[in-house]
Amino acid sequence: MRVVALVPGGIGDQILLFPTLDELKRYYPNAQIDVVVEPRSKAAYRVSKSVNEVLTFDYKDRNSLADWGNLVGAIRDREYDLAITVGQSWLVGLLLWLAGIPTRIGYQGKGAVFLTNSVPFKPSQYAAAVYHDLLQPLGIKSPCPPLAVNLPKSDIEWAQKEQKRLGVHETGYILIHAGSSLISQAKGLDKIYPVKNWQQIIQDFQHKQPDLPVVLIKGPEDEQIVRALLESAPNLKVTSPNDIGKLAAIIGGASLMLSTDSAPLQLSVAVQTYTIALFGSTDPAKLLPKSDKFLAIKSPTGKMADISPTVVLEKIWGG
């Protein structure tokens, strides 16, 4: 069986889909599963154990009819038996119908007219479970499994070398992801916790646990916030993994992860690192599974800046 999943969204969205793809592969071990994702999200599938091929298409771009036609052609040529769409676009549904895919599964709504099977869209539940509902028309009614990633051996070895370089392989370390993607910033999404608040948390932590190193994750878009934190605490350590596998591996070795709503947060959940996550207006129940390992702190006002550093520190020391 050949399956294609059409998945708009960022890397975090893709990771939240992994349990659905893994479950599909478990029920149909001989299935070839491909995905069509935005170019910015292709990197997520380095750590997927179930996907064969990753096709890219910028769903949010102002695509011409020729662009859509090329996508239809690419999908038709692969002769898929089953398509799963996680968006609710009637245009994508039409595309799948034009591509001649016999079974087309998506959510109920405006775009469902071109689908063969649709399921209720329940956005109030955990996002991974929302995706997992799309397997119901295939008779897969099991609970949504936890997030999981498949780390290449080379990435695990890189993380071990990186821990030695940082001098943290024997002591353990606290990992902080303080940044936010440029796309989130461009959309005006409030996902950045103020530098002064991070500074207070780091200073308190280093005072109480001077022998436990604090490591900052520095991605391509985090230069400014990392520089600001280093100015106030020069003894902070910095790691810059250059792909998602290395990032997941370095997160997996941490004693604790502090993060805002981001792709690294979902990786932390997937590798089962003890995590404290900061949320502004987003409902944490949609992005974190119920577990004592993953603690959420939601702003009382919906604004990230209004999360008190004291509250974060109480979570760190109180667990």
Residue-wise pLDDT for 190-215, tens only, equals: 688 999 999 999 999 999 999 999 99
- Band (240; pLDDT cuts 50, 70, 90): very high
pLDDT of residue 188: 55
Q: Give the CATH number, domain containing residue 157.
A: 3.40.50.2000
The verdict on 160 and 264 lying in the same domain is yes
The verdict on 176 and 311 lying in the same domain is yes
25-50 pLDDT, tens digit per residue, is 999 999 999 999 999 999 999 999 99
Find the mean pLDDT for residues 294-319.
Answer: 93
Percent of the chain with pLDDT over 90: 84
CA 291 to chain centre: 17
- Residue 95 φ then ψ, to 5°: -55, -45
- Band (110; pLDDT cuts 50, 70, 90): confident
The strand order across the sheet containing 2-7 reads 53-56, 32-37, 2-7, 82-85, 103-107, 117-119
CB 80 within 8 A of CB 4: yes
Least confident of 83-87, 186-190, 202-206, 307-311: 186-190
Domain annotation covers residue 313: yes
In angstroms, rounded to a whole number, what is the distance separating the alpha carbons of residues 50 and 73? 24
CB 103 within 8 A of CB 130: no
pLDDT of residue 319: 57
Find the mean pLDDT for residues 82-98.
Answer: 92
pLDDT of residue 187: 54
Cα distances (Å, whole numbers) of residue 265 to 15, 62, 99: 10, 30, 36
Which single residue is written with the structure tokens 């608040």?
A: 197
Scanning 277-318, the segments in alpha helix (DSSP H) are 309-318
Kindly provide the b/e burial profile for residues 21-52, where b requires at least 16 CB atoms within 10 angstroms of the residue's own CB: bbbbbeeeeebbbbbbbbebbbbbbbbbebbe
pLDDT of residue 61: 72
The verdict on 157 and 134 lying in the same domain is no
The verdict on 194 and 45 lying in the same domain is no
In angstroms, rounded to a whole number, what is the distance separating the alpha carbons of residues 1 and 311? 50
Q: Where are the beta strands (DSSP E) in the chain?
A: 2-7, 32-37, 53-56, 82-85, 103-107, 117-119, 174-177, 214-217, 237-239, 256-260, 275-279, 294-298
pLDDT of residue 183: 54
Q: Domain limits at 223?
A: 153-318
The verdict on 53 and 124 lying in the same domain is yes
44-68 pLDDT, tens digit per residue, is 999 999 999 999 999 877 778 888 8
The verdict on 183 and 310 lying in the same domain is yes
CB 11 within 8 A of CB 41: yes
Choose one of 138, 163, 183: the last residue of a domain: 138
pLDDT(245) > 60: yes
